[in-house]
């Protein structure tokens, strides 16, 4: 009987798949028909062309300014003239109209001066003007081995070392009682909440300032949602019934790993911001920057080891958690300096925001369970303290 049912199910499945493929084929044919027939049957748009250009990047070299432009509008755009501070300049490149979402480069021969502001105006063939401001001209660093090595060293200074320094407080945290550990977990929630809000604000600013056609703030939300869903799926697969015994044996290591992952994705976005800001001359490297980020990110190391106060993991495991939380800052700094793409930075920072939110949702049930279902007023004070700590240490970071 069972064999008959199993055998009878195969033709049914085949018929279902055949029907689904037939529907997809019908939809595809209908879309092709609309594209071939509906377009020519509609009247042409009246009025002047809609021209929209975004200047995605400016690279300053000796006596030159190189602009990367992207057409963000529906119609092709032809750049006819270029002015710098109301002075006509010779321009090379972009000889053909740039199609929708297309990119091109324009090289300007202009003897710019270090530290001076400049306003670049692109005049299209229809007379539309697109402006780009260079607040303070500075030579764009060349992405060579030495420069990328400097960015990697900066990532170590502001990412890896501060997190590891914060984790050194684990022996001190072990001497505290359960109530202090409970409050410390709440402080961790506050720390992560601030990182999520700060990252979201920074990502939205990047996306809106890019002027590109890739969604603006929607790009940030997309990255956050994808990261949240993927990490949720991974967390549930790890905590499946078949692996429950192993997870219980690990104790707080799983939770510490999730916190480290969320902080690591945040530090990836932080490294992107640092690298891209330095590449365009908006950031000065120095002791103030390193010390400010060190104080700010040391608290992240405390958040990583907060769930481990009742356990004694191996030194190698602790080191791996520290690298997971801090090392992405190295990758971010190198990538931000080499690529310097606002849309990519916004998407990656949004991924970090989604990861942190997912980690918060993992910690909160543990906090509530340890508190007996209702948070104690001290727990709420701990959350507020975490937010204030990150805000206060963030003020030490040079803008």
User: Same domain, yes or no, for 163 and 118?
Assistant: no
User: Which of the four pLDDT bands, split at 50, 70 and 90, describes residue 244?
Assistant: very low
User: Which of the four pLDDT bands, split at 50, 70 and 90, describes residue 311?
Assistant: confident
CATH of the domain at 88: 2.60.40.1890
Q: Who wins on pLDDT, 26 or 233?
A: 26
Whether the predicted pLDDT of 6 surpasses 80: no
User: Same domain, yes or no, for 274 and 344?
Assistant: yes
Q: What is the pLDDT of residues 166-187, one digit of tens each?
A: 999 888 888 877 777 778 888 8
127 in a structural domain: yes
Number of domains into which the chain is organized: 2
User: Which of the four pLDDT bands, split at 50, 70 and 90, describes residue 82?
Assistant: very high
Q: What pLDDT is stored for residue 27 in this prediction?
A: 92
User: Same domain, yes or no, for 258 and 294?
Assistant: yes
User: Same domain, yes or no, for 99 and 220?
Assistant: no
Task: Give the percent of the chain with pLDDT over 70.
Answer: 85
Q: What is the pLDDT of residues 269-285, one digit of tens each?
A: 888 888 877 776 666 66
What mean pLDDT do residues 313-320 have? 90
User: Same domain, yes or no, for 238 and 267?
Assistant: yes
User: Same domain, yes or no, for 303 and 388?
Assistant: yes
Q: What pLDDT is stored for residue 105 in this prediction?
A: 93
User: Same domain, yes or no, for 150 and 124?
Assistant: no
84: domain range? 53-134
Q: What pLDDT is stored for residue 242 in this prediction?
A: 43
SS3 labels along the chain: CHHHHHHHHHHHHHHHHHHHHHHHHHHHHHHHHHHHHHHHHCCCCCCCCCCCEEEEEEEEECCEEEEEEEECCCCCECEEEEEECCEECCEECCCCCECCCCEEEEEEECCCCCCCCEEEEEEECCCCEEEEEECCCCCCCCCCHHHHHHHHHHHHHHHHHHHHHHHCCHHHHHCCCHHHHHHHHHHHHHHHHHHHHHHHHHHHHHHHHHCCCCCCHHHHHHHHHHHHHHHHHHHHHHCCHHHHHHHHHHCCHHHHHHHHHHHHHHHHHHHHHHHHHHHCCCCCCCHHHHHHHHHHHHHHHHHHHHHHCCCCCCHHHHHHHHHHHHCHHHHHHHHHHHCCCHHHHHHHHHHHHHHHHHHHHHHHHHHHHHCCCCCCHHHHHHHHHHHHHHHHHHCCCCC
35 in a structural domain: no
User: Which of the four pLDDT bands, split at 50, 70 and 90, describes residue 20?
Assistant: confident
User: Same domain, yes or no, for 152 and 239?
Assistant: yes
226 in a structural domain: yes
User: Same domain, yes or no, for 325 and 200?
Assistant: yes
328 in a structural domain: yes
352 in a structural domain: yes
326 in a structural domain: yes
Q: Of the ranges 28-42, 83-97, 124-138, which one carries the lowest mean pLDDT score?
A: 28-42
Mean pLDDT of the chain: 82
User: Same domain, yes or no, for 120 and 154?
Assistant: no
User: Same domain, yes or no, for 129 and 167?
Assistant: no
45 in a structural domain: no
| pTM for the predicted model, two decimal places | 0.73
Whether the predicted pLDDT of 8 surpasses 80: no
User: Same domain, yes or no, for 359 and 224?
Assistant: yes
């Amino acid at each position: 009987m069972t064999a008959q049912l199993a055998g009878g199910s195969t033709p049914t499945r085949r018929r279902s798949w055949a029907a689904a493929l037939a529907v997809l084929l019908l939809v595809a044919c209908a879309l092709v028909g609309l594209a071939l027939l509906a377009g020519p049957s509609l009247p042409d748009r009246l009025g002047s062309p809609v021209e929209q250009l975004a200047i995605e990047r400016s690279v300053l070299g000796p006596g030159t300014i190189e602009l990367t432009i992207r057409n963000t509008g529906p119609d092709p755009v032809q750049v006819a003239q270029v002015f710098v501070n109301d002075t006509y300049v010779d321009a090379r490149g972009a000889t053909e109209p740039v199609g929708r979402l297309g990119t091109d480069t324009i090289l300007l021969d202009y003897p710019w001066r270090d530290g001076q502001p400049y306003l670049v105006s692109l005049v299209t063939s229809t007379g539309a003007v697109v402006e780009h401001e260079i607040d303070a001209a500075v030579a764009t660093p060349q992405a060579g081995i030495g420069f990328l090595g400097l960015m990697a060293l900066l990532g170590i200074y502001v990412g890896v070392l501060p997190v590891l320094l914060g984790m050194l407080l684990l022996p001190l945290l072990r001497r505290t009682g359960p109530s202090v550990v409970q409050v410390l977990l709440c402080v961790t929630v506050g720390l992560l909440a601030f990182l999520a809000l700060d990252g979201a604000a920074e990502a939205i600013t990047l996306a809106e300032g890019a002027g590109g056609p890739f969604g603006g703030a929607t790009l940030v939300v997309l990255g956050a949602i994808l990261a949240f869903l993927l990490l949720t799926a991974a967390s549930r697969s790890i905590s499946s019934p078949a692996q429950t015994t192993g997870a219980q044996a690990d104790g707080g290591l799983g939770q510490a790993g999730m916190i480290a992952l969320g902080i690591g994705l945040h530090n990836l976005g932080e490294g992107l911001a640092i690298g891209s800001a330095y590449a365009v001359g908006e950031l000065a490297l120095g002791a103030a920057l390193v010390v400010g980020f060190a104080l700010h990110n040391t608290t992240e190391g405390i958040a990583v080891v907060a769930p481990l106060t009742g356990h004694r993991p191996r030194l190698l495991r602790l080191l791996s958690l520290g690298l997971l939380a801090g090392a992405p800052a190295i990758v971010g700094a190198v990538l931000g300096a080499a690529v310097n793409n606002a849309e990519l930075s916004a998407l990656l920072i949004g991924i970090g925001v989604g990861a942190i939110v997912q980690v918060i949702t993992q910690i909160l049930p543990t906090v509530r369970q340890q508190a007996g279902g209702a948070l104690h007023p001290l727990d709420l004070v701990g959350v507020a303290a975490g937010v204030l700590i990150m805000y206060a240490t963030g003020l030490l970071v040079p803008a």
